[in-house]
Amino acid sequence: MKDQPNDRLHPIESNYMAGAAVVGFLLMLLLTGGSLFAAFGALALIGGIGWIAHRLFC
């Protein structure tokens, strides 16, 4: 993904949110007894919120 003004690549929008998404994935996997559906939902939710926050505030 490229920024419009300076054309720099940003493969991961926020390293902290990517880490939080992985931790949320593993935590949800642990809490639900191995439900991948819930774990991938948490991963997508946290990753999506991080992407939106980065786009709005940076």
pLDDT given at position 15:
79
Q: How far apart (Å, rounded) are the C-alpha atoms in residues 4 and 29?
A: 37
Those residues whose C-beta lies under 8 Å from the C-beta of residue 1, and which sit 6 or more positions away, are: 9, 10, 11, 13
b or e along 14-28 (b: 16 or more beta carbons within 10 Å of the residue's beta carbon)? beebbebbeebbeeb
Q: What ranges in 1-58 are assigned the alpha helix state H?
A: 15-31, 36-57
Mean pLDDT over the full length of the chain:
82
Task: Please give the model's pTM, rounded to 2 decimal places.
Answer: 0.72
The pLDDT tens digits for 27-46 are: 999 999 999 999 999 999 99
